[in-house]
């Protein structure tokens, strides 16, 4: 809650090693920390006063003015734009079909009857906004399906039972009824109706309870009870009609939605994420494409993936909501609970501004299906999440699947950087061991769900008397009374205070204080009420970074008592959650010492009070996101396993307040509390939303769900917020809202936020307001496009995971030796198949009793690969492309999508990790997303197309493609031979260590420069090489491009930092002009400070994306490029396409 030395921008002299002029003090009355924040006599008051006024003027004017502008852009209070209500489509017409020849067929009308009965019983139907189902038009269905297929399905309306059965038997797991086509059209149309309503702001989310299901249906193929793919059609419809650019599809049906995956596996605008049962291909639909190693193809590679919530930033979330993974389902035979699906729904509601639509898919136990639908609908309606029953940690086989998926996706998503393997990890071969250990499936009894009911949603405690605590010697002390006043005023201005239940407050009793503090310390503070000013000053100097006034004891007692009152209201059910706007803060306060502006540890006392009134050792989670480590809270609970303390703070290797090693990741508690103290120690400034969300998803939430708390207390300091003078970090109000929303899934929604630090009045007001919005049930606003987390921050998270994985099973990574296929993050040896296999028809599937051996649905490679790790190098594999190998032959070759079996296919292995593999290209070590999308490539081109005059004069750039004649191209992942000259590629580790942020005006990183130089060295010897830029046709950061300013552009404008006119770039978000990295790198610094992703070169009109590490050329950039061309050359671009 405090900061010293170079980290502080406050104006008082401090006793610390950074201020040698500070008077010495008696070490016997201070803590072991070698810094203090107490005021000291000034030897030159006039000079100090001048410094104080200057600094405060700079803070209050420059910093806060910038913040206000930024917050206006954030639109934290979009009250007029917030859509409310949950839409529901439930139409009895959808029950007018069934299997004519098998009454026991699991996909039957009783499914919807059971759901309706459950929803009526719980009163959910009346709480929803009802929508009538509508028919999907043929043109809408054709967004995904072929016209021939649609016409064939339409003819089923006129077939008799025999004809329907004959046609159905040509597909896998399908029946047909004369009304099947009508109902399938109604089902697709129902989802489209909800898309219109959600994106038109009629409602905020919705659920389509429809049948038949859809996610197995393919372009021209019925499959697995499905005729039309409702979710796929809805995604394309949203993109076409509503101009949505990014759609996330989550498929939690126990069966893989291969139809949806095949529709989008080459499309980077749709992120498909499926959790399903696979069992090495033994579970239906028996496709190797259902395995973790399939990550998409072409431009869509990496977009058939698992769990990177906040890197894709979807604008709409569609859920293929199958409930056949629930306990008791005869098809899934899994152990999920309705509460688990409620949690998944809650997590997804934090994305896309809450624009979430669930479309019913499978689920064949009528009772569990109804419970699952009801649980998800409760969450859509804003009800709190039910607690999970002893969730524990994932089973070993699930951990193995997750580990494999993460490994396969690491090249495409920077958020998925994982800790190194550790000796404690288990090695599992193909996951068979776990499957064999599992006994026969026995239907389970679902736990009875209880939905917490509260008279009101959010309680609020505040008392203006807490402003009486002040620094009588320094009116500019950062812990000012105005902090809580400004927060309350802002809550009132936004109407949030009126939506909360204001609770009366009282001072903490002595018994409550003594649960965490010694009697001697309480009496020592009480005695300050009668001290004179000089005595107060002397007493404050006895503690670390403390000031005391006559009202301090009363205010500290009132702040602690207010939090206890809020705990009572939450545990009694009077309110669901709460926010405490209190001061002085508390998390630094020790059992017998004040510290860092803190006197009584309010959160710690509240935790003990909760356990006392519950009459048992209630499990309590304390999350401390103040930028300073809560040393007092940690010490109070370090031996107590009933309280899990998680702190995220600046550590700076022990030099950031409160100094020392107390906040290090190695501090894990002691005795019975070992493992229940978790420290994420940031070692530098500028940590922001990306880093905190990464910590939440990878560390905080897994541990929290495994702990399964009954109450969550948050030490909500906002000094990690953007603009705070002490923290130096960059968390946004939206970021805090998302952190709060994610924690609300725990403890039945019983969560209390208690104000700790935060010293920029604008920042703390906006941040607390954003958190209060979330507590009230308002969905968190959509985050701006996030930069990748800093490598240092990821290292801190990884360090904590490595320390704690021995205590928490949810943090363990299972090492899997998988013989089926290899992760795309590995270096591989590739050979191009000689020819395609024309023997199978597109989309053909085998009966589900037999594992598929060949799947010809796709013309892209999915063959097993030969592995090459850093320790073992493969033998050189020659890639020879003859001139008569047409690109069509290369790109349309058949994919052998083979599920595991003892049979082998005698084909040359091909690595499926890059789209270039389909065209005969060789990509060298595509170990990161930057290299996969913008790295140097070797691509076949007719030899006759090269001439000596075509060589570029300048060096090629990132994204350059080296075009080689077929006779010149042989190689392996380590070496390429060009006309007899060996060209060694860089090792992945070297690429990672030496890579710089590829940037404008050349845009090369070190690895690319080395590779480029080696190509150039061969240019004089081999005249068959030509370099060309290959920009991305689309990137997810195009939404950051702002309209061109009214003042237009000035291509002669110098760099705003250094004044140079050489190689300048313009930022396409703020339109500021800076020089390239090869001049003074001011555009790089601008990106790092602002996070603005896209910049345009005034030299050659190229556009660079920092997060994608590649050039981009897209329709959305043509206007600014054309205007720049006009300003530079006096005419329009000759080829704007």
Which residues does the annotation mark as catalytic?
216, 588
The conformation of residue 387, written as its DSSP 8-state character, comes to P
Report residue 446 CA to chain centroid gap.
31
Question: Cα separation of 759 and 726, whole Å?
Answer: 7
Tokens representing 315 are 């604008």
Torsion of CA 115, 116, 120, 123, to 10 degrees: 60
Q: What is the CA radius of gyration of the chain?
A: 31
Q: Are 598 and 588 in contact (CB under 8 A)?
A: yes
Q: Are 1010 and 968 in contact (CB under 8 A)?
A: no
Q: Are 316 and 355 in contact (CB under 8 A)?
A: yes
Closest by Cα among 226, 222, 242, 225 to 234: 242
Distances (CA, A) of 1026 to 105, 773, 918, 961: 62, 57, 21, 8
Residue 227 CB contacts under 8 Å (≥ 6 apart), including other chains: 153, 180, 181, 184, 212, 214, 217
Q: What is the 3-state composition of the chain as percent helix, strand, coil, each rounded to the nearest 5?
A: 35, 15, 50
Give one DSSP letter per residue of 653-713, joined into a string. GGTSTT-SSTTSTT----GGGTT-EEEEEE-SS--BHHHHHHHIIIIIHHHHHHH--SEEE
Question: Cα separation of 114 and 1061, whole Å?
Answer: 71
Give one DSSP letter per residue of 825-886, joined into a string. TSEEE----SS--TTS-TT----TTS--S---S-SS-----EEE-SS-PPPP------TT--
Closest by Cα among 1109, 1111, 1125 to 931: 1109
Q: Rounded to 5 degrees, what are φ and ψ at 1024?
A: -105, 10
Cβ-based burial of 1089 (10 A; exposed 0-12, middle 13-18, buried ≥19): exposed
Please state whether beta strands 751-755 and 711-716 pair in parallel, antiparallel, or not at all (unpaired): parallel
Q: Is the peptide bond before 285 cis (omega within 30 degrees of 0)?
A: yes
Q: Are 753 and 771 in contact (CB under 8 A)?
A: yes
Question: Cα separation of 603 and 587, whole Å?
Answer: 7
Question: Cα separation of 361 and 210, whole Å?
Answer: 8
Residues forming a β-bridge with 544: 595
The conformation of residue 461, written as its DSSP 8-state character, comes to E
Question: Cα separation of 186 and 132, whole Å?
Answer: 10
Please state whether beta strands 1064-1067 and 1073-1075 pair in parallel, antiparallel, or not at all (unpaired): antiparallel
The C-alpha angle 1022, 1027, 1030, rounded to 5 degrees, equals: 150
Question: Cα separation of 615 and 10, whole Å?
Answer: 45
Closest by Cα among 464, 504, 513, 459 to 487: 464
The conformation of residue 810, written as its DSSP 8-state character, comes to G
Question: Cα separation of 934 and 1109, whole Å?
Answer: 7
Question: Cα separation of 119 and 910, whole Å?
Answer: 51
Give one DSSP letter per residue of 947-985, joined into a string. -GGGS-SSPP-TTEEEEE-GGG-EE-SSEEEETTEEEEP
């Amino acid at each position: 809650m405090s900061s010293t030395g170079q980290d502080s921008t406050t104006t008082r002299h401090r006793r610390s090693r950074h201020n040698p002029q500070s008077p010495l003090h008696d070490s016997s009355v201070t803590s072991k920390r070698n810094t203090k924040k107490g005021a000291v006599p000034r030897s030159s008051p006039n000079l100090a006063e001048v410094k104080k006024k200057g600094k405060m003027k700079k803070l209050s004017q420059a910093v806060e003015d910038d913040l206000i502008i930024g917050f206006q852009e954030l639109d934290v209070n979009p009250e007029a734009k917030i859509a409310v209500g949950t839409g529901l489509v439930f139409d009895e017409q959808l029950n007018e079909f069934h299997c004519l020849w098998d009454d026991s067929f699991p996909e039957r009308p009783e499914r919807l009857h059971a759901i309706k009965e459950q929803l009526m019983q719980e009163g959910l139907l009346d709480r929803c906004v009802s929508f009538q189902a509508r028919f999907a038009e043929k043109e809408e269905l054709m967004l995904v399906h072929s016209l021939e297929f649609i016409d064939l399905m339409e003819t089923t309306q006129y077939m008799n039972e025999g004809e329907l059965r004959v046609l159905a038997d040509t597909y896998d797991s399908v029946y047909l009824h004369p009304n099947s086509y009508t109902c399938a059209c109604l089902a697709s149309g129902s989802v489209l109706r909800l898309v219109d309503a959600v994106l038109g702001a009629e409602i905020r989310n919705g659920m389509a309870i429809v049948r038949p299901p859809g996610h197995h249906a393919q372009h021209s193929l019925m499959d697995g009870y499905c005729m039309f793919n409702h979710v796929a059609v809805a995604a394309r419809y949203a993109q076409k009609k509503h101009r949505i650019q990014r759609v996330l599809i989550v498929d939690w049906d126990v069966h893989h939605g291969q139809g949806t995956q095949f529709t989008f596996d080459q499309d980077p605008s749709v992120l498909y994420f499926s959790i399903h049962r696979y069992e090495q291909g033994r579970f239906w639909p028996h496709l190797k494409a259902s395995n973790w190693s399939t990550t998409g193809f072409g431009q869509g590679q990496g977009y058939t993936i698992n769990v990177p919530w906040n890197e894709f930033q979807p604008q709409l979330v569609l859920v293929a909501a199958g409930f056949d993974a629930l306990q008791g389902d005869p098809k899934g035979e899994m152990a999920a609970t309705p509460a688990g699906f409620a949690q998944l729904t809650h997590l997804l509601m934090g994305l896309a501004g809450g624009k979430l639509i669930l479309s019913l898919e499978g689920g064949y136990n009528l009772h569990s299906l109804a419970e699952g639908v009801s649980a998800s609908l409760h969450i859509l309606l804003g009800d709190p999440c039910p607690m999970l029953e002893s969730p524990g940690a994932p089973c070993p086989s699930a951990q193995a699947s997750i580990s494999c998926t993460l490994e396969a996706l690491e090249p495409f998503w920077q958020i998925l950087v994982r800790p190194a393997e550790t000796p404690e990890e288990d090695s599992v071969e193909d996951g068979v061991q776990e499957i064999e250990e599992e006994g026969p499936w026995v239907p389970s009894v679902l736990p009875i769900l209880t939905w917490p009911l509260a008279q009101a949603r959010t309680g609020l405690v505040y008392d203006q008397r807490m402003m009486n605590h002040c620094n009588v010697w320094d009116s500019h002390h950062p812990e000012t009374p105005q902090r809580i006043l400004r927060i309350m005023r802002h809550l009132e201005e936004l109407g949030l205070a009126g939506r909360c239940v204001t609770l009366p407050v009282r001072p903490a009793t002595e018994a409550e204080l003594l649960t965490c503090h010694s009697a001697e310390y309480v009496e020592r503070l009480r005695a300050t009420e009668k001290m004179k000013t000089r005595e107060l000053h002397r007493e404050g100097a006895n503690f670390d970074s403390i000031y005391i006034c006559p009202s301090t004891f009363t205010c500290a007692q009132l702040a602690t008592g207010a939090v206890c009152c809020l705990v009572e209201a939450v545990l009694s059910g009077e309110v669901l959650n709460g926010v405490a706007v209190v001061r002085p803060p508390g998390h630094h306060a020790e059992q017998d010492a004040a510290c860092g502006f803190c006197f009584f540890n309010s959160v710690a006392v509240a935790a003990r009070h909760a356990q006392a009134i519950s009459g048992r050792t209630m499990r309590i989670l304390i999350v401390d996101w103040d930028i300073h480590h809560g040393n007092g809270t940690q010490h109070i609970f370090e031996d107590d396993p009933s309280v899990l303390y998680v702190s995220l703070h600046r550590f700076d290797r022990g030099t950031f307040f409160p100094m020392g090693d107390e906040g290090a990741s190695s501090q894990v508690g002691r005795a019975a509390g070992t493992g229940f103290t978790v420290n994420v120690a940031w070692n530098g400034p500028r940590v922001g939303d990306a880093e905190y969300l990464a910590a939440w998803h990878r560390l905080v939430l897994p541990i929290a769900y495994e702990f399964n708390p009954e109450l969550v207390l948050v030490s909500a300091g906002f000094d990690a917020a953007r603009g705070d003078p002490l923290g130096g970090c960059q968390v946004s109000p939206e970021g805090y809202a998302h952190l709060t929303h994610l924690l609300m899934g725990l403890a039945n929604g019983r969560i209390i936020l208690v104000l700790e630090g935060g010293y920029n009045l604008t920042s703390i007001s906006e941040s607390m307001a954003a958190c209060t919005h979330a507590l009230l049930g308002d969905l968190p606003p959509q985050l701006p496009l996030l930069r990748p987390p800093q490598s240092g921050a990821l290292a801190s998270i990884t360090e904590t995971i490595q320390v704690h994985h021995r205590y928490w099973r949810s943090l363990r990574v299972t090492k899997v030796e998988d013989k089926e296929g290899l992760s795309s993050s590995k270096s591989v040896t590739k050979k191009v198949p000689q020819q395609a296999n024309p023997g199978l028809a597109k989309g053909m599937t085998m009966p589900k009793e037999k594992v598929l051996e060949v799947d010809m649905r796709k013309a892209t490679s999915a063959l097993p690969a030969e592995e090459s790790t850093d320790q073992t190098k493969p033998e050189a594999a020659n890639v020879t492309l003859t001139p008569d190998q047409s690109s069509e032959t290369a790109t349309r070759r058949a994919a052998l999508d083979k599920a595991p079996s003892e049979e082998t296919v005698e084909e040359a292995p091909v690595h499926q990790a890059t789209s270039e593999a389909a065209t005969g290209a060789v990509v060298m070590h595509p170990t990161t997303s930057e290299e996969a999308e913008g790295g140097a490539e070797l691509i076949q081109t007719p030899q006759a197309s090269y001439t000596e005059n075509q060589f570029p004069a300048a060096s090629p750039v990132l994204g350059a493609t080296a075009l080689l004649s077929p006779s010149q191209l042989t190689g392996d992942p380590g070496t390429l031979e060009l006309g007899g000259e060996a060209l060694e590629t860089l090792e992945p580790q070297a690429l990672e260590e030496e890579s710089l942020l590829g940037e404008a005006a050349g845009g090369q990183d070190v690895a690319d420069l080395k590779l480029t130089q080696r190509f150039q060295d061969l240019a004089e010897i081999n005249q068959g090489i030509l370099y060309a830029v290959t920009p991305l046709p689309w990137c997810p950061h195009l939404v950051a491009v702002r309209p061109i300013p009214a003042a237009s552009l000035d291509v002669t404008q110098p760099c705003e930092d250094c004044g140079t006119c050489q190689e300048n770039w313009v930022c396409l978000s703020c339109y500021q002009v800076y020089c390239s990295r090869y001049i003074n790198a001011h555009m790089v610094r601008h990106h790092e400070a602002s996070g603005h992703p896209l910049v345009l070169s005034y030299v050659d009109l190229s556009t660079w994306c920092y997060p994608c590490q590649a050039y981009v050329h897209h329709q959305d950039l043509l206007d600014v490029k054309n205007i720049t061309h006009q300003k530079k050359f006096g005419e329009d671009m000759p080829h704007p396409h």
